[in-house]
Amino acid sequence: MSFPLRPSHNVLKKKMSNRSTVTEFLLLGFSDVRELQILHFVVFLLIYLATLVGNLLIISAIALDHHLHTPMYFFLVNLSILDLGSISVTIPKSMVNSLLDTRSISYPACVAQVFLFFVFTSTDLAVLTVMAYDRYVAICQPLHYERVMNRRACGQMAASAWLAGIVYSALHTGNTFTLPFCQSNVINQFFCEIPQLLKLACSDLDLSEIALIGFSVFLGLHCFVFILVSYVQIFRAVLRIPSEQGRHKAFSTCLPHLTVVSLLLFTGVFAYLKPPSSSASNLDLVVGVLYAVVPPMLNPVIYSMRNKEIKAALKKLMGWRLIFRK
C-alpha cells in the first residue's frame, strides 16, 4: 500500500530540489538575430532617453516656476518621478541583455524588479486617483479648494499613495516568490512580470495569492470608478461655466489627466486580462511594451501639449538655458 506513495514523494523532492537550484531566470528576447538585437538596443535607448528628458523637463519646469507650485502640479511632479522609476526598472536590463547577447537575470534582481515595478505602477494609479479628486474639488467646489487641498493635505495624500504602493508591492512580491518554481526558469516577457512568474510555479496558487489578486482587482476597479464618477461631476460642472474661455481652461487641465489615466488603465487591463499562453509569444512582448514603456514615455508629451501653463514654464526654462549658455 505504501508503494504508490513513493513516486509522488520523489516528484515533490525533485520539485523542492529544482526550486533550490533556481538562481536565475531567462527573459524572452526580442530576437536571436544579432542585427535585430542591436536595433532593439538602439530603439529602447532612444525611448529611454526621450522619457528621461521629457519627465525631467516637467519636473524642472514646475520646480523653477513659482506659479506652478499648486496641488495639481505637485502631484504631476510625483507622477513624473514614478514614470522615471517604472521605466528605469525594466528598460535598462533589457537593453544590456540585447547588447551582451544574453537573456539572464539573477533571482535577487528579478525579485527587486518585480517589487520596484509594482511600487511605481501601483503608486502611479493612486496618485492619478488623487489628481482626479484634486480636479473635482478645484472645479466643482472652488470656494473650498484652498481649505481642502492645503499643503499639509497634499503631502499626506502623496505620502499615503507611496506608502500604499510599497505595502501592496511587498505583499504581492512576497507571495509570488514564496511559491516554488520548478516548471522552468524561462519568463515569457522582457522583464520579470508576476503573471509570467506564476506560470512557472510548481503548485496552484494558494489562498493568500488568490485573495491578493482579488483585492488588486477590487482596488483597481475602485480607483477607476472613483476617477470616472469624479470626471462625470467635473464635466457636468464645466458645461455650466458661462464663458467659453473658462470652459476651455477647465478642459485643458482635465483632458491630459484623463488621457493619462485611460492610457495606464487600458494597457494594464489588456496586459493582465488577455488569454494566457504557455509558450513564448510576440504578443507578450508587445503587450509588455504597451503598459510598461508607452505610458511613461507619452505622459510628458500629453501634459506639455494640452496644458498652456506647462508650455509656458517649459519655454521659460529653455530661455533660461539659452541665457546661461551665453
- Give the amino acid at 193: E
Residue type, 7: P
CATH number of 23-325: 1.20.1070.10
**pLDDT surpassing 80 at residue 193:** yes
Provide the grid cell at 87: 521605466
> Mean pLDDT, to the nearest integer, of 63-75?
89
pLDDT value for 306: 65
Cβ burial, residue 113 (10 Å; 0-12/13-18/19+): buried
Lowest-confidence pick of 6-10, 30-34, 88-92, 135-139: 6-10
User: What is the Cα–Cα distance from 188 to 199, expressed in whole angstroms?
Assistant: 10
Highest mean pLDDT out of 74-78, 183-187, 285-289:
74-78
Where along the chain do its domains lie? 23-325
Position 158 scores a pLDDT of 95
What pLDDT does residue 3 have?
35
pTM across the whole model: 0.83
Q: CA nearest 181: which of 159, 200, 156? A: 200
How many whole angstroms separate alpha carbon 310 and alpha carbon 77?
12
Q: How confident is the model at residue 208 (pLDDT cuts 50, 70, 90)?
A: low
The pLDDT of residue 19 is 44
Query: pLDDT tens for residues 12-61?
Result: 334 444 444 678 899 987 888 888 899 999 999 999 999 999 999 999 88
Predicted pLDDT at 324: 43
Maximum separation of any 2 CA atoms in the chain, in Å? 90
Whether 104 shows a pLDDT value over 60: the answer reads yes
Using alpha carbons only, give the angle 11, 13, 19 rounded to the nearest 5 degrees: 105
Asked which of 71-85, 164-178, 301-315 is least confident by mean pLDDT, the reply is 301-315
Q: Is 101 left (phi over 0), alpha (psi -120 to 50) or beta?
A: left
CA dist., res. 73 & res. 172, Å (int): 30
